[in-house]
Amino acid sequence: MIFCIMIKRDIQKRIEARLGGKRAVLLIGARQVGKTSLLKEMFSGKPGVLWLNGDDPDTAAVFDAAGGTRLRALIGNNHTLVIDEAQRVRDIGLKLKIIIDQVVDVQLVATGSSAFDLANRTAESLAGRKWTFHLHALSFAELVAHHGLLEEQRLRPHRLVFGAYPEVVTTPGDEAALLRKIADSALYKDVLSFGGIKNPDAVRKLLKVLAWQIGSQVSYQELGQTCGLSYQTVEKYIDILEKAYVVFRLGSYSRNLRNELKKSRKVYFCDTGIRNAVIGDFRPLENRPDAGALWENYLVAERQKRLSNEGQVAEGFFWRTQQKQEIDYIEEANSALAAFEIKWNPAAKTRGQRTFLSAYPTATHTVVTSENYAEFLLKPPENDTV
């Protein structure tokens, strides 16, 4: 998969800065976002690197029976051990702990395709012994750095329809077929193979219903009635979809006003192309009734990528009152509060600015449109407080 090497990944410098210490480096993210390609860019051609793949039965067999002595012999004189798809190795957390504790001067790097695989399986064994990085599909900033701001702005309608998975971006003309393949991989290999999924048809139906409700508040009770599931099962399945990097949730922001919604949530797709693959709709943007919802999903997802790629710690919310006054996206970081209203139509009126700023007078407020969205998605100046 050499396509990812063509586009520089922002997270690479942050990973490289953590190499050479005693801690393992874990790189997690959805299938096909370029984890293997990124590591090949970093390590290919360099001496002293042992590359193993957890999907290889021989690798899994070696690790299955290996103790400290055999693992030391396996690594030999290599100073870097890369284990791709490490979650396939049984007791991977314990094996990595043995290497860290008993093999001197070796840098461990491991990848995994879902949070409920590698991250969970190493949580206890590698407590205090790892750095974890999340790789997303290509970000707006990475694409701007690759071919320029004007070109990426020109491609905005295309991104909203087909998203930004690396192979999709770099294979023009075959986007729909590639997205169907990626969506099937994410759904079947990660979500449906995860323990506890007793009704795969219901998961597929739930995912479609969520795809039609992007940008809107969702009720687990109503979703359950539509899909024939209990409230608790809907919540469990959405949690699994989130850990497989298919969707993510925003909760409602509530601190001051009695009439603020306190327990609502919105569900967005991590990639708009995957969302459109789920509902089987790749029509051009100008022919779509859901253009505004796609625009909101795209901007919120891209903002999340930006924060993650830069290593920033911030919490995202939305805000709404019982009178339907609303702010699409709220960001809280370092005690600073920023409100963003997202408008597909730059001339559209805002609905919650006055009430929100009255309740939270120290907050900033910005309307994000096609005219200024680059500022929202690119790295801010050093004096930016958000």
- Nearest-angstrom CA–CA distance, 134 and 29: 6
Mean pLDDT of 79-86: 90
263 or 45: whose pLDDT is higher? 45
Give how far Cα 315 sits from Cα of 30, 253, 318, Å. Answer: 21, 10, 10
105: left (phi over 0), alpha (psi -120 to 50) or beta: left
Question: For 101-105, what is the mean pLDDT?
Answer: 80
pLDDT-derived band at 31, boundaries 50, 70, 90:
confident
Decide if pLDDT at 143 tops 90. Answer: yes
> What proportion of the chain, given as a percentage, has pLDDT over 70?
91
Provide the pLDDT for residue 120: 61
pLDDT for the residue 36? 93
| Residue pLDDT, tens place only, 121-139 | 665 667 778 899 999 999 9
* Residue 125 identity: S
Strand partners, 133: 27
| Residue that has been written with the tokens 């603020």 in this structure | 260
Q: What is the dihedral of CA 302, 307, 310, 313, to 10 degrees?
A: -170
Say which residue, 65 or 167, is predicted with more confidence: 167
CA angle (67, 54, 167) in 5-degree steps:
155
Please give the average per-residue pLDDT across 86-111, as a whole number. 84
The mean per-residue pLDDT over the stretch 5-34 comes to 90
**What are the angstrom distances between the C-alpha of 209 and each of 22, 247, 257, 272?**
45, 12, 31, 15
Ramachandran quadrant class, 128 (left: phi over 0; alpha: psi -120 to 50; beta: rest): left
Say what the pLDDT of residue 185 is.
78
Write down the CATH number for the domain with range 140-377: 1.10.10.10
CA atoms within 13 A on the CB side of 13: 5
- Alpha-carbon span 138 to 144, nearest angstrom: 10
Model pLDDT for residues 157-191, shown as the tens digit of each residue: 999 999 999 999 999 999 999 999 999 877 776 77
pTM of the model: 0.91
Residue 5 banded pLDDT, cuts 50, 70, 90: very low
- Structure confidence at residue 1 (pLDDT): 39
Cβ–Cβ < 8 Å for 138, 164: yes
CB-CB contact of 233 with 224 (8 Å): yes
Q: What pLDDT score was predicted for residue 145? A: 96
**362 exposed, middle or buried (CB, 10 Å; 0-12, 13-18, 19+)?**
exposed
Average pLDDT, the chain: 87
Q: Where are the domains of the chain?
A: 2-134, 140-377
Q: Tell me what percent of the residues of the chain surpass a pLDDT of 90.
A: 58
Phi-psi region of 51 (alpha: psi -120 to 50; beta: other; left: phi over 0): beta
pLDDT at 172: 92
| Cα distance between residue 275 and residue 223, in whole Å | 17
pLDDT in tens, 305-335: 999 999 998 999 999 888 888 999 999 998 8
How is domain 2-134 classified at the architecture level of CATH? 3-Layer(aba) Sandwich (3.40)
Please give the angle made by the CA atoms of 166, 170 and 172, to the nearest 5 degrees: 125
Reported as a single tens digit per residue, the pLDDT across 212-270 is 999 899 988 999 999 999 989 999 999 989 988 899 999 988 876 665 555 789 999 99
Phi-psi region of 48 (alpha: psi -120 to 50; beta: other; left: phi over 0): left
| Predicted local distance difference test score (pLDDT) of residue 206 | 94
Distance (Å, whole) CA 139 – CA 312:
15
